[in-house]
Structure 1
């Protein structure tokens, strides 16, 4: 990625530590030791001032390092953004809109969640965006370097601790604002969507409902087929252009062929305009993989700067570049033309740096090596990616090498459920919206059908990664307007039902 753009452009995702297992020279598939993809990972750090259009305050809360023991441990400062601009106050039971921050800088999430800000005046709501521990400015142990030093200092980076942070912060806020009777609506996208759904289930007394957008809560163990994610990415490209799909599919072998030539790595460095000589073909294949999966996530119908500055329908533009290569142009040169749409649409980049995590803020790597074990594989028949398969033994060995920890692949489903999810949600859950667009590769690990009258799935055929949470634009298609209208109607119903029950209880 370009040096100019690689200062950690945005958050979560994604997915952008997808370490592509490389095929051996005999063409046999390799076992996958890749970590769970970052949902939005390296894009979580803003590169410019954000939130110019919103009025808010930045505050800090002294948060417990460990909520589940009584050890006398030092606290850390959790950052949160709060906006009173439209709140009608506790006297009128003004609701609280609480976004469950994901794996990155909270101002980036707030910037890309315009839907919440735009709903606030309609509902007279207080808006709160808390930052996830170990990300952004909310660093335990005093600094990023100390927090990420080893398994001991990282041990408190878990989803359970983060949810407890949110529960404690929310409870304290309501008490200090005399807002104990104000209804709370949870929001979240991607990993934040998972947290919103899980918080609704784990702390049902603290909220009246949750909007979980693009939340792959089922992307664990053997709940969904491991090839689902890469199949969806591949299908989006195939649907756009069969020839583009085929070119990408054959490009991995072309890459291998080039690597085996004398000075092949040097030639690849030149072809892909890299800032430094390529040391490994794996680095380049990771770079390709990151672009394709991110494009599927950010395949929005209008221009955005969500992950990168991109045109509307960016996959269409990528495939147009690949398909329009002059006759006789090599496969790798065509691939570069397509990737250039993703990595250099503005045309301002002279060379690309493949370093995936230049700031060392690899908190998601830790989470993937402990709780967030999301098995992934690629099928040679249905995928445009090289074939690889998930192997837990090698996955575990890689995590031990990096962090000296052993993953717990069954812990998330033990803690939050997953198997028999429909029955569990129907019996124990209520008031959750799972919204997904089928262009988003993470939709395959989410809830795509209604569970009950109050746990509903809103699915759009053309939607990409939590598009519904983005700010409204004049270019929004009708199906997106209809989706948001349904979400607003459900949120209104949650708040009304809560207020009606509270009123009856007071009589």
Structure 2
């Protein structure tokens, strides 16, 4: 999901969870806001990238243009007659590490599945157009992505003699939504789906994200979110006085002197710092520390420990200490919190541009399909200063998308997919209670054939990562439950 939609260097991630498929890469974006002993599910050489010819526009038969889409294959578990597992790429480069590690491979081994992963159009090396101009980005949408998946599966099945094999779709975060929607829109192709941490309901304003951040911080220490709020409020007051800006620049180790000329400048700075907490909460204690996937040992417990350490000074000083800790963790020399720099990067349309790793593309999708803006428009959350209006103005600045166009696009998305009221079968929806994205997902069974698996105490996409001895019992049970569901559904 993902990871969520803005370009923040400190995010330590990208919107991927994919940022792809739940994996985060420092210095990209945050779409859906990632160490420990790792059980390696499968050993062997990493999958080699392969290429598939796709149509540029699946919905215009008069447009003959084509392009090459990247995909990966793992045949190590396949047994004749077995199903096909398809991991869906998301808002970042498809990571071949997923062809060697992850819960889905445990499932594949049990049922003898052929494993495929398809990179999402416009992310990673899958470049359908010569650049990322707004005109070209009109070919970037979840609907085109689903059509890519359908055509890919159809042709691969024909080429490999798999036309009668059952297909199971997997995805986490935004790709989790795609997994659910793939089953919904192409039921003749997709037999079942595992839609992990999937925000299936689109919404322009998503203040509930930060409300979950408050509750998740409070689960460690009830005083923790209150201290964060005091620090955030104190920073907002200091920003009002230009005389404090030199000290703020030093306190937060900014790459250039803090310049607050518009509300966008202050909002971007405040959101950047809040992102330290948002990201850690979203990926708290997950198991991303395996080969090819970035992880961190910074947890909610660590952040709340810093915020409770009075020896560091007042809450504002502790807030700054958190920022420095995160920079040290990701080996950042300084924090670039300049909206002017962000605007320049996000409007660079080159494939070599600083936001081409996923930021420009994902935020475009939020502006034209999903919203998902994690605003401070709720009193029940710990931050101040980046309201919905700030996010909406970015859509206009980056892509000339108006507030009205954004609202209509989000309404159309829910109309097309059904939002929370999805009508289908054989889709399981795992979510973690710590993960703020669960607020837009399915956390209670819709029907017996559309079950939810709500995992208390776990974060974004936790059930997708390789199992380890430190995992909570409920996480182990959730993985087993999904496995049993898949075995049951594959017999239907």
- Calculate the TM-score normalised by the size of structure 1: 0.80
- What residue is the counterpart of 1:61 in the other structure? 52
- Report SS of the residue matched to 2:437: helix
Which ranges in structure 2 are unaligned for 5 or more consecutive residues?
A: 28-41, 261-265, 346-352
Contact 2:81 2:165 in 1 (8 A): yes
Deviation at 1:439, TM superposition (A): 0.2
SS state at 1:365 partner: helix
| Counterpart among 131, 139, 148 of residue 165 in structure 1 | 148
Q: How much does 1:44 deviate? A: 5.2
Do 1:45 and 1:108's aligned partners in 2 also have CA atoms closer than 8 Å?
no
CA distance in 2, matches of 1:460, 1:337: 32
For residue 111 of structure 1, report the CA deviation from its aligned partner. Answer: 6.8
- RMSD (Å), alpha carbons: 3.0
Distance 2:228 2:91 in 1: 30
Q: Which runs of 5+ in 1 are unaligned?
A: 1-10, 20-36, 498-507
Of residues 477, 480, 485 in structure 2, which corresponds to 1:482? 477
1:155 aligns with 2:138: yes
For the pair 1:402 / 2:390, whether they are aligned, the reply is no
What's the CA shift string for 1:299-355, capped at 9, x where partnerless? 12668489864227x01111111211317x133221122234444337x44433347
| TM-score using structure 2 length | 0.83
Residues 390 and 283 (structure 1), Cα distance of their counterparts in 2 relative to 1, 3 Å cut: closer
2:296 to 310, 315, 318: 310
Match of 1:83 in 2: 74
**Aligned residue for 1:22?**
none
Confirm or deny: 8 A CA contact 1:432 1:455 kept in the other structure: yes
- Structure (1 or 2) with the larger CA radius of gyration: 1
CA gap of 1:309–1:173, structure 2 versus 1, over 3 A, is closer
Q: CA deviation at 1:39?
A: 6.1
Secondary structure, in 3 states, of the residue corresponding to 1:434? strand
Equivalent position of 1:13 in the other structure: 3
How big is the shift at 1:69? 0.7
Q: Secondary structure at the match of 1:77?
A: strand
The residue number in structure 2 matching 1:32 is none
Provide closer, same or farther for how the CA distance between residues 110 and 64 of structure 1 changes in structure 2, counting only shifts above 3 A: same
* 2:308 corresponds to: 323
Between Structure 1 and Structure 2, how many residues are aligned? 446
Superposed CA deviations along residues 211-265 of structure 1, whole A, max 9, x for unmatched, are 00000102436xxx84321110111112222322122101222212322445422
SS in 1 for 2:430: strand
Confirm or deny that 1:193 pairs with 2:176: yes
Aligned to 1:335: 319
Distance 1:127 1:210 in 2: 14
- For 1:435 and 1:373, the matched residues in 2 are separated by 22
Superposition map of 1:179-190 within 5 A:
179-190=162-173
* 1:332-382, Cα deviation, whole Å (9 max, x unpaired): 221122234444337x44433347667222101111111112355435531
**1:416-427 matches, cutoff 5 A:** 416-418=417-419, 421-422=420-421, 424-425=422-423
Change in Cα spacing, 1:371 to 1:262, as seen in structure 2 (3 Å) is: closer
Q: What are the within-5 Å matches in structure 2 for residues 229-248 of structure 1?
A: 229-248=209-228
